Amino acid sequence: MRRLTIDDLDSCIHLAKDRGWPPEAHKWRLLFDIGEPYGIDAPDGDGLAACNVLTLYGDAHAVISMVLTASRYARRGLGRALMRHVLDRAGERTVFLHATEQGRPLYEELGFRTTGRVVKHTGVFAGEPSGLTRPATVADLDAILALDAEVFGMDRSAALRRMFSFGERVRVAPGGSGQCRGFGQCWRNDDTIVVGPVVADDESTARALIGDLALDPGGEVRMDFDLAHGSMIRWAGEHGMGEPWEVAFMVRGGDLPGDRSRQFLPFTQALG
């Protein structure tokens, strides 16, 4: 069991493909940059037997993602061992993650509880420009970070500061006095454009940001909605988004801070 480095990126991608996941090299690079990837080398010498990524949000919160075990080493306790390792590393932090039905029993054994459900939608978005948002610039970053800290309740600045290099587009809904009423980005994940994060003061602002980001991406877009945002899900469906796939949102420790009603789309399920 060891801390992985960027030299292990190809092994992580190979492991993902082994389990039927897309390669997602762009996302993996971001996680290597801001997170702590861990892995277990395969005893047969062929890459990794298991891996996961821990991303710390300050001293009080963390997220675990990319939990994978090679199919030939399944059901040997490697995933559980790595989970215990990163939970020890997280210490007293409140930890959250997104779980498939296959992974949920393990996480429940480790003290996680389901607090919500998140549904992935993909499709070709159909709509018109809102006229309410504009491209963001680095000059907007302070306002973006301030709004995110208020709404998310924890420090995501390491990820958000990389939006302008990681994402394809970043947009804001301007407010008065240099503030913003919302922000969002879209980024390319293999052949799909993912919209997220989207944080906004209200649903109409979120719809404007999502619509403007999802227009004309050159292919399918993906949006991951919390089931609590039922009216947003119906709106997205009316604009071409479909093929839902549901996962559990799970938390270990205390309750998460912030205002989830204004968290419309996650950065990615790997980062919350």
Q: Which domain holds residue 16?
A: 2-92
**Total residue count of the chain as it appears in this document:** 272
Does residue 97 sit within a domain? no
Number of domains the chain contains:
2
Give the confidence band of 48 by pLDDT, cuts at 50, 70, 90: very high
Does residue 251 sit within a domain? no
Domain finish residue from 74, 92, 110: 92
**Contact call for residues 251 and 94 (beta carbons, < 8 A):** yes
Report whether pLDDT(20) > 90: yes
Give the confidence band of 25 by pLDDT, cuts at 50, 70, 90: very high
Residue 269, Cα to own-chain centre: how many angstroms? Answer: 3
Query: What would the pLDDT profile of 119-133 be if each residue is shown by its tens digit?
Result: 999 999 999 999 999
In terms of domains, do 167 and 230 share one?
yes
In terms of domains, do 84 and 170 share one?
no
Does residue 106 sit within a domain? no
Sequence-ordered list of residues with C-beta below 8 angstroms from that of 5, at least 6 positions apart, any chain: 32
Report whether pLDDT(263) > 80: yes
Report whether pLDDT(243) > 80: no
Does residue 272 sit within a domain? no
In terms of domains, do 189 and 146 share one?
yes
In terms of domains, do 234 and 180 share one?
yes
- Between helix 203-214 and helix 230-238 the angle, nearest 10°, is 30
In terms of domains, do 64 and 135 share one?
no
**DSSP for 15-82?**
HHHHTT----HHHHHHHHHHSEEEEEE-TTSSSEEEEEEEEEETTTEEEEEEEEE-GGGTTSSHHHHH
Report whether pLDDT(236) > 90: yes
In terms of domains, do 58 and 132 share one?
no
Share of the chain above pLDDT 90, in %: 94
What mean pLDDT is reported for the chain? 96
In terms of domains, do 80 and 34 share one?
yes
pLDDT confidence of residue 216? 85
- Is the pTM here over 0.85, yes or no? yes
Task: Render the burial of 229-265: b for 16+ CB within 10 Å, e for the rest.
Answer: beebbebbeebbbeeeeebbbbbbbeebebebebbbb
In terms of domains, do 171 and 212 share one?
yes
Q: Mean per-residue pLDDT for 171-190? A: 93
**Contact call for residues 147 and 183 (beta carbons, < 8 A):** yes
Q: Which CATH number belongs to the domain containing residue 80 in this structure?
A: 3.40.630.30
pLDDT confidence of residue 71? 97
pLDDT confidence of residue 95? 98
pLDDT confidence of residue 217? 79
pLDDT confidence of residue 247? 96
In terms of domains, do 82 and 149 share one?
no
Taking CA atoms, 110 is separated from 62, 63, 200, 251, 270, in Å, by: 15, 14, 33, 11, 19
Does residue 254 sit within a domain? no
Does residue 109 sit within a domain? no
Share of the chain above pLDDT 70, in %: 100
Give the confidence band of 219 by pLDDT, cuts at 50, 70, 90: confident
Does residue 225 sit within a domain? yes
Query: What would the pLDDT profile of 7-19 be if each residue is shown by its tens digit?
Result: 999 999 999 999 9
Strand boundaries in the chain, DSSP class E: 2-3, 36-41, 48-57, 61-69, 94-99, 113-123, 134-135, 169-174, 180-189, 192-200, 221-226, 241-252, 263-265
Report whether pLDDT(33) > 80: yes
In terms of domains, do 156 and 75 share one?
no
Domain finish residue from 54, 73, 92: 92
Domain finish residue from 43, 76, 92: 92
Report whether pLDDT(176) > 90: no
In terms of domains, do 216 and 161 share one?
yes
Report the SS3 class of residue 245: strand
Query: What would the pLDDT profile of 66-94 be if each residue is shown by its tens digit?
Result: 999 999 999 999 999 999 999 999 999 99
In terms of domains, do 234 and 129 share one?
yes
Does residue 110 sit within a domain? no
Residue 240 region by backbone torsions, left for phi larger than 0, else alpha for psi between -120 and 50, else beta: left
Report whether pLDDT(178) > 80: no
pLDDT confidence of residue 138? 95
